[in-house]
Structure 1
């Protein structure tokens, strides 16, 4: 069982129009070791979790992709986890955004404007009029994420990336992805470089290790290794140390539940 008592996070709280259906409560956390939210709790508010600094792992099996948040309807038991040195925004609402009416829990895209508005209403210099106007724009912009295999995004690399963000342990090779998507290996590799600035294998390694940083705050190294696609703990430790300059044992497991 993780030790939730160590490495406390800073927390800021901002409420606008509370008590009114159109109000919003924003909680901003700065983690110094990892944070867990929810954990079989029955909440009375709908909630949106978002971190600009890295992925969020959830009890429903998702790991959020970059530019994604995690939506949870009121009274849906859930757990959301963030890694060390992440800022996490937790937006609490009484109303359900129109385009999320059919979604009980799951990822939702966060575009640049929505991200900017969330950060804006979690500041001490934001007045209530500005915050409530921002809330309306945030609500209008939230919509369910496209499926991992959907033909969305700017290219085929994003289709592969969405699938791997959901399951970092996926062992599908580049040529297999290319065959599934009916493109050449060269085209898919070129699209990865254009979209992410690096080849497929390098990108996959970085995303696996980024996901591992979240999981390590709550899970032993030996269990994290297969969850992010490594055949053995030793292979995982080698890759992690090469990327971050220290062993994963310095990260796991020490998070706090809130």
Structure 2
């Protein structure tokens, strides 16, 4: 089917700001069909837990963090992962403003995710590339259905899949980064992570430089600040600072201002004004 681009307003996002939704459907109605909805909004994008989905859902963002909730568990998911929800499973997904979110709707469960009701899953680089590729006007349907097969094969549920999909070095740094993305408030320092992994601090730091081109401390800061943007529109600054791992609001404000050029309070005020 030909993709269609339209401006829509979801029933459940925070605020009343309309968002762009591009729909790309291939083989719809068939077991091997795929529907991908690409969202982008000037306000917080929220898929609330009141949803009644009759298709399996995979949420992925190429340019930011997703805040996800399933049952009583809250988890953050970075660009190298996606959030999976089996059909009819209650869940919630939130993204920051001006962030692209891809929602992939499937009739079949990917082989690697059989038995998983909901949670963060690894997306290998080729699967990520193909998700973006099928969301382009004029994409051939046969090619898109072949891409769907590869996307499904590129999903994995565990830490081993994550490291296997992405590591160029030993995989130690990626394992730590995955844990931090899920819980950026973890206070463990580099030495503690090295002890948990039974390696030297020097080995772990070297792996961070190899994988990310920056030290552990900078990777952690970027993850914390990226996550904070998802929370700031609905949570006070002091609470967000604590949630993402800062010992004081002042330390968080300083780091946020250095990264984004404005204070978290001003950022939240701008977003509130955009929603008004």
Residue in structure 2 matching 1:95, options 96, 99, 108: 108
1:139 maps to what in 2?
Answer: 152
Q: Is the 8 A contact 2:25 2:34 kept in 1?
A: yes
Task: Give the Cα separation in 2 of the matches to 1:150 and 1:97.
Answer: 19
Runs of 5+ unmatched residues, structure 2? 1-11
Instruction: Flag structure 1 segments of 5+ consecutive residues without an equivalent.
Output: none
Instruction: Quote the Cα distance in structure 1 between the aligned partners of 2:164 and 2:157.
Output: 15
Give the secondary structure class of the aligned counterpart of 1:62.
strand
Q: Deviation digits for residues 163-195 of structure 1, max 9, x if unmatched?
A: 111110011121112222222222222221222
Shift of 1:234: 2.2
Q: How does 1:81-230 map to 2 (within 5 A)?
A: 81-146=94-159, 153=167, 154-155=169-170, 156-230=172-246
Structure 1 distance, partners of 2:27, 2:217, is 48
Aligned residue for 1:177, secondary structure, equals helix
C-alpha contact (below 8 Å) 1:149/1:163 kept by paired residues: no
Are 1:75 and 2:81 matched, yes or no? no
Answer with 125-134 or 67-76: which moved more.
Answer: 125-134
The residue number in structure 2 matching 1:55 is 65
Q: 1:32: how far off?
A: 1.8
- What SS does structure 2 have at the residue aligned with 1:90? strand
Distance 1:3 1:41, change over 3 A: closer
In 1, the alpha carbon distance for the partners of 2:102 and 2:236 equals 26
Q: CA deviation at 1:150?
A: 7.9
Q: Does the 8 A contact of 1:32 with 1:84 survive in 2?
A: yes
Give CA-to-partner distance per residue, 1:132-159, whole Å, 9 cap, x none: 2211221222221326998994322222
Secondary structure, counterpart of 1:161 in structure 2:
helix
Which sits farther off after the overlay, 100-109 or 154-163?
154-163
d(CA) in 1 for partners of 2:43 and 2:266? 10
> C-alpha offsets along residues 42-70 of structure 1, whole Å, 9 cap, x if unaligned?
21110010111011110132211331111
- Select which of 45, 48, 52 maps to 1:38: 48
Higher RCO (Cα < 8 Å, 6 or more apart): 1
Tell me how far 1:238 sits from its aligned partner: 1.5
CA distance in 1 between counterparts of 2:41 and 2:66 reads: 13
Given the superposition, is the C-alpha separation of residues 95 and 206 from structure 1 closer, same or farther in structure 2, using an over 3 Å criterion? Answer: same
When the two structures are superposed, what TM-score results if normalisation uses the length of structure 2?
A: 0.84
Query: How many residues were matched structurally?
Result: 255
- Contact 1:148 1:159 (8 Å CA) reproduced: no
The answer to whether the 8 A contact 2:59-2:104 is kept is yes
Distance 1:45 1:151, change over 3 A: closer
Query: Cα RMSD over matched residues?
Result: 2.4
For 1:221 and 1:95, locate their aligned partners in 2 and report how far apart those are by CA, in whole Å: 41
CA contact (8 A) 2:61 2:78 kept: no
Are the structure 2 counterparts of residues 114 and 186 from structure 1 closer, same or farther at C-alpha, using a change threshold of 3 Å?
same
Q: Which residue of 1 aligns with 2:27?
A: 17
